[in-house]
Every structure is written in structure tokens, then in C-alpha cells.
Amino acid sequence: MAVINKIMDIVAPPIALISLFFFLPPFCLYKFTQYILSSLFPENMTNKVVLITGASSGLGEVSLSPLDTHTHTHKQMFRILIANEMFYIQHLAYEYAKREAILVLVARRIKSLNEVAMRCREIGSPSVLVVPADVSKPDDCKRFIDATIGNFGRLDHLVNNAGIESICLVEEITNMTNLKALMDVNFWGSVYPTYYAIPHLKESRGRIVVMSSMAGYTFVPRMAFYSASKGALISFYDTLRMEFGSEIAITIIAPGVIESEMAKGKVFTPQGKMEVDQELRDAMLGLVPVQPVKDFAKIVVNRVCAGARYIIEPKWWYGVYFHRVFLPEIVDYWQRKLYSLSPQAPATISLTKKMLEYLPVKSLLYTHSMQSPEIKRE
């Protein structure tokens, strides 16, 4: 066995390079042709049933145990941020509504869902079902899948969108079990609905749409647990894609930084209070340009209906990904420099934030809604 592995170590790399040389050019041509044809003839969503899950930011909706804060300042404490809130779910729903799809909207906040549902009906959706539920609970997931089939008899697109985000250094955490809530929502909150939807999606030869993150491919300090949860999603659905073959299509979306409640600086503290901390937001985002959520949703739904397997948006994040793959040591070095990593350094102080303050570009990089001090705290 050892001899075989040694032979493979010598033989496999050159064979792999030779195969890439011969097969990559025709494959790229095939993918380009497929992209053009799918863009010209996208999936017709008229009267197809689309279920979209989404996180909500109501007080008390994430169950966390109190942290020991005696050894850390308020600015250094672990935070849970609601990453998508109603931003993604409403704009994704609007784009599907314009295509006259039947919608099932799932989140915790019934009032916000009803407002989105009313708007969806106005712009083209023939029917909208609102189901308040918690995606981290298997019974809730089974209930809203059953409600979808009970009302409409089919399911064509399952859009797993719910997610929360953490910002902290690992060594700042005093109780590791507090991070279970993040994995429950970000990973299991997509797996549970998928599990119950599989037979219905097979019947319709439908599609699963997964909202991962560039944090699942590239890595940002203070986001280890968030990156782990999003990386787990990518691995799970890539494996599932092989299991399903052509029976169920899968699209994995990896957003960069998109306009959202998180991008506005809203934080959910371990004490159960919603706070707006734009100093922390600036320290984490720095000079990274933020994409308006309307633009993001339109591009994403267009590409989903065109049958995309992967979507990275904005596209310039491909450059970040390739640097991470080919120049990991250099990327690691600059990440540490930009984020001033140290347990003793407050999270709100970083080199990238100082650069943002020194250069007069904030109005160009951040959306208008992100710069407003009037951020809703409920």
C-alpha cells in the first residue's frame, strides 16, 4: 500500500496537469455556450412555487446564554448579528414575484412577512402564503414544507436564506456552547427544510438555492464560527449535488458584503438587547464596497433562473478567492495587519477603519441606508 501511494505521488500530479491542458479549453467553451443559452432561455417561473426562508431580528429570537463579561469590555464582548434580517427575503421575494411565481415566505416576524407578501401580490405574484416559523427547529421546518404542499400541491424552488453572524476572537469566548445557536440557524436551518422538501423537489425536478457566503471560501478575522458554518453549507450541498444528480438542481450563492441590517451596524448582544454599533461595522468592513440589496437580488434570481451552479456576487470577489488559494501567506499577513488582531485591542479599532476615516470615500463605498444614524432597533 505504501509503495502504491509513493508511485501515485510521482505519477498523479503530471497526469493531472496534462489532463487539464487537454480538457480545460473545451470545457470552458462548453460552459460559455451553456451560459449564453441559459441566459437567453431562463426558467419560466410563472405559477411555480418558491419557498424562501429568512432570519428576523426581533428581540429574543436567538437563544443565547449569558457570557461572563467580567474580563472583557463591552466593545470586546461576543456579538450575534442578524446578517440578513428581512432584507434578503423581501428583495428575493420581489424578484420572484415579478416573474409571477407563487411564494411561500418563512420567518419569525409575521408583521414584516405580511408587509412583504402584500407587496409581492401587487407586483405580480398570483398567491403568497406566509408561515411564521423557526428554521432551527425540525418540527417547524416540516410544518412549513407540509403547508406549502397542502396549499399548492408542489414545490419548485427552495431558497434557504436564513442566517446569523458572529464577531469575536475565539479566545474571547468564555462559554463555547453559546455558538450552538449560530450553527443551528446557519447550517441546520438549511438542512432541515431541505430534508423535508426532497421528495417534493424530486417530483417537480426543482431547485435548492443556498445562501452561503464568501466567508465560506475566504476567511476574515473574528468570524471563525460564521465561516465554519458557511463552509459546512458549501460542502454539504456540493455533496448533495452528486447524490441527486439531475433529479434536483442546486445553486450555491456566496455573497460578498451586501446591504443588510448587519451592514447597517445592528448587533444582537448576549444580554438580549438590540444595539446599533456602526463603529464595529466600520472596523470590520473598512474599505470594502457594499452592494445594494436590490441589485444583488436581481442578479441572483436572474442567475438562479438561468441554472447557475455557483453564484459569487459581486463578481470582483473572485479575485479575493483566487488570492486566497494561490497566495495564502500574503493574504493572512495583510488580514492580521488590517484588523489589528489582539485580544487586548478593542474590535472597534483597526487599521482598515483608520484608512476609511482618512480617505474621503465612505459615501462611495457604503449605501445611503448604512450611513443613516436612524437605524430601527426593534
Which candidate in 192, 196, 217, 226 is catalytic? Answer: 226
What span, in angstroms and rounded, lies between the C-alpha atoms of 170 and 277?
Answer: 20
Joined together, the cell numbers standing for residue 283 give: 472596523
Which residue, 157, 105, 159, 142, is CA-closest to 127?
A: 105
Which residue, 221, 141, 216, 228, is CA-closest to 176?
A: 228
What span, in angstroms and rounded, lies between the C-alpha atoms of 319 and 342?
Answer: 27
Half-sphere exposure of 283 (CA within 13 A, CB side): 20
Instruction: Decide if 310 is catalytic.
Output: no
Cα distances from 54 to residues 49, 146, 190, 194, 253, in angstroms, run 17, 18, 10, 14, 15
Angle (CA) 300-211-175 rounded to 5° is 155
Half-sphere exposure of 226 (CA within 13 A, CB side): 25
Q: Catalytic residue positions?
A: 226
